[in-house]
Structure 1
Amino acid sequence: MSSARIVSVFGATGLQGSAVVDALLKDGTFVPRAITRDPNSATSQKLKARGVQVVRGDSLDKTSLVTALDGSEAVFAVTVVNSPRVDGQDEVTQGRNIVDAAKKVGVKFFVWTSLPGVKRITGGKLQNCSHFDDKEIVQEYLNSSGLVHANLMLPAFLENLWSYDILKKTDTGYTFALPLHSRKKLQFAWIERDVPAAALALLKNYTDASKNINGKAYPVVNAKVSHAELAEKIGQVLGVEVTYTQSPPMGIEEMDEMWAFVDEYEGYYTTPIPNPDLVALGMKFSTVDEFLNAEVKARYGQ
């Protein structure tokens, strides 16, 4: 019988999951198993070439998940947003299927990447931000499942600067625009660095009951800055003019509600930055300056 400490990673071909796989490989304590709908994709083949076990598992097919997770000590779970939302294919269905399959095969520890419920926080004023609300529904389901688990609460992704082509070239530098006032502060993380660091800290400590990890929610935030401040920092790193302007609503109900939520509740995670609970577990948070020098300078520098 294999003694390998297998961590099954969902989204292993995406930003969060691939970063977790990289961290697990580098650390060596655990063996990553990539769970993907298409083990034959080009990205899956690259994982296989690095020695990663790649297994088919569809979060909408619970039977495939039971097979895929068999033998896993732990699970790192992230779900895919389906837009427009379709009942039976949404993140609630995906997340509950993963939880059920993990429980069935005897997984010992479950890490869920989550978001706060907008409908709950606003008292029902905003009801259409499903990519937040669905994750909280799964979090509640996981909390009642009996599985030993922890929830990583994610902020805005610094990587969105290029993932969504937000930073635009101008004659004198760069500009970007989003539907949020320039002075409103947003909570951020360097997802590719901070999520795997947090996940690894939890995985290495979950067996120690004195750490009180089970059922806890951990905000993963490395900074709280306004877009005007972020533009200034980017400009300093690139040595060019970078400006931010507030754009009109996007005309997409779910996204417009998300920006309305951020505008009114800009500090929806109240934990100190960096999170002292994660720091106590050995996590080292990144900084915005590190992100800008390592990523933005390489991608946008002259």
Structure 2
Amino acid sequence: MSSSRIVSVFGATGLQGSAVVEALLKDGTFTPRAISRNPESDASLKLKARGVEVVKGDSGDKPSLVDALRGSEAVFAVTVPAFTDSTGATPDELTQGTNMVDAAKEVGVKFFIFSSLPSITKLSGGKYQNVVHYEDKAAVEEYLKSSGLPNASLLLGGFLEGYWRSHLLHKTATGFDFGVPSFTATDREAFTWVERDVPAAALALLKNYTDQSKNISGKSYPVVTTLSYTELVAKTAKVLGAEVTFTTKPDFGLLPVDEMFAAHAEYSGLYTAEPEPNPALVALGVNLGTIDEFLQTEVKPRFGQ
């Protein structure tokens, strides 16, 4: 493993960041550095035990990020929605993201990957204006593209890991039920297998960003598979060998989340204009996982009889 090619990872203890750290460790081309507000947390200590460098950095404090990112060749960045923090300790995502970009540029980072989302306000022509976590990420992405820092953004859909992380699939008396707000069974959604496909895409971008012929910088790459819930439920039932029903759940009562689900349902997961799998990622050698592979490797072991 080359100690000179450091990739600093924000969110290294979360779903996306931890998957990227794992991929970097396994591949060995780059050395992961985890950026954490609390390097002594249990999750940070687990990373340290695996030999991962954990450095203190607060996304709300740019000077701390300058120190944390110094010596990094590249950055993988995830911002965290502030509206989910009842303490008010988390700065808004635009602040988080612009601090990350500014700090990276200041210390000479050569490439910046951002986990982003599209503007639902723009996509809906103003119909949905309260999905702040999408609007902030979209604004950070635009700021990154205008920064002069070589960059790429990954655009994600609904996390397939929600089967168990968000309890979307649950046992019933006759089998299983899959429930989400706003969607009907025939509505289509864009899904992302985060633990497999986000690190695969990130690693391909990191390995190819210096090749000018690949024309990577400034591009946004959807990492999604789109299908209807009717199709998803049928595939799930086949893998589990059990009845799986679909239920439209009530709204959460949290406006940014409720509008998010409504927009995804109305606009078929948001990425209908993009071919799947993403041709630009395929050209970089990324082999994105299929829904069938996900169900066999992740859902069947957890929910199978």
Is the pair's TM-score, using the shorter chain for normalization, greater than 0.5? yes
Length-normalised TM-score, structure 2: 0.95
Query: For the Cα contact (< 8 Å) 1:228–1:243, is it kept in 2?
Result: no
How far the C-alpha of 1:126 sits from its partner, in A, is: 1.1
Q: How big is each residue's C-alpha offset from its partner over 1:226-265, in whole Å with a ceiling of 9 and x where there is no partner? A: 1222111111111111110222333221122112211221
In structure 2, the residue matched to 1:24 is 24
Determine which of 275, 279, 300 is the counterpart of 1:276. 279
1:294–1:3 CA distance, 2 compared to 1 (3 A): closer
Q: Distance in 2 between matches of 1:148 and 1:301?
A: 45
* Residue 152 of structure 1: aligned partner: 154
- Find the aligned partners of 2:27 and 2:169 in 1 and give their Cα distance: 33
SS at match of 2:81: coil
Distance 2:44 2:4 in 1: 21
Structure 2 counterpart SS, 1:83: helix
Assess if the C-alpha contact under 8 Å between 1:20 and 1:199 holds in 2. Answer: yes
Q: Alpha-carbon deviation of 1:267?
A: 5.1
Classify the secondary structure of the residue corresponding to 2:270: coil
The CA distance in 2 between the partners of 1:8 and 1:249, in whole Å, is: 37
Match of 2:302 in 1: 299
What is the letter of the counterpart of residue 97 of structure 2? G
CA offset digits 1:139-192 (Å, max 9, x no partner): 011011010000111111100111111211112211122121110110111110
Q: Could you tell me which residue of structure 2 aligns to residue 53 of structure 1?
A: 53
1:77 maps onto 2:77 in alignment:
yes
Consecutive unaligned residues of structure 2, counting only runs of 5 or more, are: none
For the 8 Å contact 1:160–1:166, the answer to whether it is kept is yes
Q: How many residues align?
A: 300
- 8 Å contact kept, 2:82–2:90: no
Matched-pair identity in %:
61
Partner of 2:99: 97
> Partner of 1:39 in structure 2?
39
Q: How does 1:1-302 map to 2 (within 5 A)?
A: 4-83=4-83, 89-179=91-181, 180-221=183-224, 223-266=225-268, 268-269=270-271, 270-302=273-305
Q: Which range is displaced more, 96-105 or 42-51? A: 42-51
The one-letter code of the counterpart of 1:9 is V
**Aligned counterparts of 2:13 and 2:28: Cα–Cα separation in 1:** 20
Q: Which letter does structure 2 place at the counterpart of 1:288?
A: I
Letter in 2 for 1:60: G
Deviations 1:19-50 (A, max 9, x none): 00000011110000011111111111111111
Q: What's the secondary structure of 2:220's corresponding residue?
A: strand
Query: What is the distance in 2 between the residues matched to 1:40 and 1:121?
Result: 41
Distance (Å, rounded) in 2 between the aligned partners of 1:286 and 1:228: 20
Bigger shift: 248-257 or 55-64? 248-257
CA distance in 2, matches of 1:142, 1:106: 14
**What's the C-alpha RMSD, in Å, of the aligned pairs?**
1.5
Measured in 2, the distance between the counterparts of 1:248 and 1:49 equals 43
| Cα separation, 2, equivalents of 1:260 and 1:163 | 21
Secondary structure class of the residue paired with 1:177: strand
Determine the C-alpha separation between the residues in 1 that align with 2:20 and 2:3: 21
Residues 87, 261 of structure 1: alpha-carbon distance in 2 compared, 3 angstrom cutoff: farther
CA separation in 1, counterparts of 2:13 and 2:89?
25
Q: What do the CA deviations read for 1:260-290 (whole angstroms, capped 9, x no partner)? A: 2112211522221111100111111001111
